[in-house]
Amino acid sequence: MPSNAGLTRGAELAGKVALVTGGARNIGRAICRSLAAGGAAVMVNARTSRALAEETVAMITQAGGKAAVHIADVTDPAQVAALVDETVKRFGRLDVLVNNAAVRAETPFETMALEEWRRVLASILDSAFLCSQACLPHLAAARGGTIIHIGGLTGHRGATGRAHVITAKAGLAGLTKAMALDLAPKGITVNCVVPGTIESQRGLPGVPERPESRRAPPPIGRRGEPEEVAAMVRMLCGPDARYVTGQAIHVNGGGYMP
């Protein structure tokens, strides 16, 4: 798949504003670029990776789009509030929230510390809860707001050594259904995009190597690209997906068929 998949310029999101958590690299970066290619102004959030987040913004602006960076820990309610306020102050409104922030961690269940368990759940579930609540008034005002949670394949089929990540990602699937029902009267759609085996930047601090058992390609014969996940997110944010809500949509090359 070409690396520019999902980056074809369009105007279906023109005039809209998107906030993407964990937007500095990999799938988050691809989502930011894809939404910007669709015409949206994008606030790129990262917790500490300012340089990488600024690279994402540079990619967008060099392609003629609009974007900015805001560094915030999205497990901290005060920092989340400041992130949302800055997004609206900078761009004037808010139409799309993509909850992509997460941590990668692998620890055998029998040695997993409660502190690590809570840290991982907070980074994935608490952040989605906090950001969604903070964005809600603005998304409701947009009368056509969109929330996308980025799930995980292991949350549906399991894996060893990732009890905390799997629990959190499975929780996002449940949260998607609950929020879709609660927010439908406000005109807000809520979906969960679930990536399969995706090529991503490895060798970073805290990023474990993928076990051999999870390195084989899916039936389609290759690993996916971050841009292919981003293309699905972009579609769900557009005008042609307003009847799609409460769904976990898998992008995995046939690696899992629910």
184-204 confidence digits (pLDDT tens): 999 999 999 999 989 876 444
pLDDT of 258 higher than 90: no
Q: Are 117 and 164 in contact (CB under 8 A)?
A: yes
Whole-number mean pLDDT of the chain?
92
pLDDT confidence of 63, banded at 50, 70, 90? very high
Question: Assign residue 23 a region: left if phi > 0, alpha if psi is -120 to 50, beta otherwise?
Answer: alpha
Q: Are 124 and 169 in contact (CB under 8 A)?
A: yes
Q: Are 252 and 218 in contact (CB under 8 A)?
A: yes
Which pLDDT score, from 0 to 100, does residue 207 have?
45
Read off the pLDDT of residues 205-248 as tens digits, 9 standing for 90 and up: 444 555 555 567 888 889 899 999 999 999 999 999 999 999 99
Distance CA 93, CA 35 (A): 15
* CATH superfamily to which 17-200+224-251 belongs: NAD(P)-binding Rossmann-like Domain (3.40.50.720)
Distance CA 179, CA 132 (A): 9
Q: Are 12 and 38 in contact (CB under 8 A)?
A: yes
Residue-range domain boundaries for the chain: 17-200+224-251
Between 126 and 103, the higher pLDDT residue: 126
